[in-house]
């Protein structure tokens, strides 16, 4: 099928590359001409496992191309996926101006009927507004537009795996034609009728995918409800962690036992610095605002948000108690991205942590495998180590802020010898307290006995 993708950010780029890998002919466009230039030069602007090989392979095989000509791009596809950003406004609402601009673009540039698919995360009833906007902007053409919602469930760091081997595909439609077209789009993925370029150990072929057809409103609600529930699990684990510290329990033992119950499950029950990134905080805010607009007080989610906002300050208090005075101290920070296997620092707890340490007068040297270049643009005043050992050298304290797996297998004897004071504060409960004590470290974490 011929597919257009509007927006080459994280969702759009992964969507375009994966649909091309599934055998479709895909054209991607973005208003950022620098980004399109990078992609046409074979450079991937985001850090995402396997994405580079997907883009390179499908560009070479002529199934994927990038253009700055947005009009050409929307005319090229029978189906247009909208993958533009919907950042939060100051009041917590989603900014839908980019969606509106794309609707105007599509309605004025196309010459044939199109199926327009929301891939961006949007508030419920956006599909209805999108259909109305297409009708208004395209009233002179007389063309008919079908609209569908197809929310993404991509985890940064494993987006390619999630797209090519999803646990569910949600198709929100209100007519049979739109449903038929989207089923055709996803048939190769549902039937495994394509040569998956990712190693089977990464993309397990046995994973079963359910294709769920809903109304457009339900599809839009599913995305926000899913992300808000994941945020709830994280904040619940953090609240339990605080209780464990007060009562002498071990949060890892508590949450592990909870997760063994299949009704609960182990995922996202991890205590630490809290959730970040561009999705969960934004989607929780938008869901709260959505409820307010229809007269419902979603107090549960406001508490989830409140617990999350407290995590950085609680961690800074741990650092202050351990150091007594933060001002003038050298603090090494391991991790800047909001989670491992990405370079994304949007709404990143480690970035907020570094800013608070700087505000208290600390000297910070940080290291992250993928996110240092992006961080330099927002935190040029801190030092950057070429590796974790340089970040730890001469430090009065070493902080683990992102759970990159390699941080758990560092040469801790070498780090112990290089630090001014062998003090480690683990914001992600990545390390074993007994091991760190054996190595001679003063070690602090969340919800576990020191």
Q: For 432, list phi and psi in degrees, rounded to 5.
A: -90, 120
First-to-last CA distance in the chain? 58
How far is it, in rounded angstroms, from Cα 72 to Cα 229?
Answer: 40
28 is catalytic: no
Residues 6+ apart with CB under 8 A from 19: 3, 5, 26, 185
Residues 6+ apart with CB under 8 A from 63: 20, 21, 23, 24, 25, 26
**Would you call 141 exposed, middle or buried from its count of C-beta atoms within 10 A (0-12, 13-18, 19+)?**
middle
Phi-psi category of residue 176: left, alpha or beta, with phi > 0 → left and psi -120 to 50 → alpha = alpha
Read off the tokens for 223: 């995305």
Reduce the DSSP state of residue 375 to 3 states and report it.
helix
Q: What is the DSSP letter of 338?
A: S
Instruction: Give me the residue label for tokens 């989610």.
Output: 301
Question: Which residues is 172 bridged to in the sheet?
Answer: 149, 214
- Catalytic residue positions, numbered: 279
């Amino acid at each position: 099928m011929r597919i257009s993708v509007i927006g080459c950010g994280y969702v759009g780029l992964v969507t375009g590359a994966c649909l091309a890998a599934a055998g479709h002919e895909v054209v991607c466009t973005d208003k950022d001409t620098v980004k399109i230039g990078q992609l046409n030069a074979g450079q991937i602007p985001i850090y995402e496992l396997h994405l580079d090989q997907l883009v390179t392979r499908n560009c070479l095989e002529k199934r994927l191309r990038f253009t700055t000509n947005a009009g050409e791009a929307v005319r090229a596809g029978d189906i247009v996926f909208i993958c533009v950003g919907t950042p939060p406004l100051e009041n917590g609402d989603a900014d839908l101006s980019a969606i509106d601009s794309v609707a105007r673009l599509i309605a004025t540039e196309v010459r044939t009927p199109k199926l327009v698919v929301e891939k961006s995360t949007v508030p419920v009833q956006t599909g209805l507004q999108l259909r109305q906007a297409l009708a208004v902007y395209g009233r002179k053409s007389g063309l008919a537009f079908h609209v569908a919602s197809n929310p993404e469930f991509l985890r940064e760091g494993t987006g390619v795996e999630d797209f090519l081997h999803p646990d569910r595909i949600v198709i929100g439609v209100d007519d049979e034609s739109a449903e038929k077209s989207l089923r055709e789009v996803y048939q190769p993925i549902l039937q495994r009728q394509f040569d998956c370029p990712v190693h089977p150990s990464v993309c397990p072929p046995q994973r079963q995918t359910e294709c769920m057809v809903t109304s457009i409103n339900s599809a839009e609600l599913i995305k926000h409800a899913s992300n808000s529930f994941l945020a709830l699990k994280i904040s619940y684990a953090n609240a339990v962690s605080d209780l464990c510290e007060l009562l002498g329990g071990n949060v890892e033992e508590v949450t592990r036992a909870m997760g063994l119950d299949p009704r609960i499950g182990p995922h996202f029950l991890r205590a630490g610095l809290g959730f970040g990134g561009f999705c969960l905080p934004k989607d929780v805010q938008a869901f709260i605002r959505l409820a307010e607009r229809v007269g419902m007080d979603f107090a549960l989610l406001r508490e989830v948000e409140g617990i999350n906002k407290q995590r950085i300050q609680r961690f800074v208090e741990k650092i202050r108690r351990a150091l007594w005075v933060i001002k003038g101290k050298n603090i090494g920070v391991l991790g800047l991205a909001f989670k491992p296997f990405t370079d994304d620092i949007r709404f990143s707890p480690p970035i907020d942590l570094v800013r608070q340490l700087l505000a208290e007068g600390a000297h910070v040297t940080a290291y992250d495998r993928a996110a240092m270049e992006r961080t330099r643009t927002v935190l040029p005043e801190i030092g950057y180590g070429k590796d974790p050992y340089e970040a730890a050298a001469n430090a009065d304290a070493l902080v683990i802020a992102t759970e990159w797996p390699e941080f758990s297998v560092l040469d801790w004897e070498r780090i112990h010898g290089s630090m001014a004071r062998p003090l480690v504060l683990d914001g992600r409960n990545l390390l074993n307290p007994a091991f760190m004590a054996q190595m001679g470290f003063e070690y602090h974490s969340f919800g576990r006995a020191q």
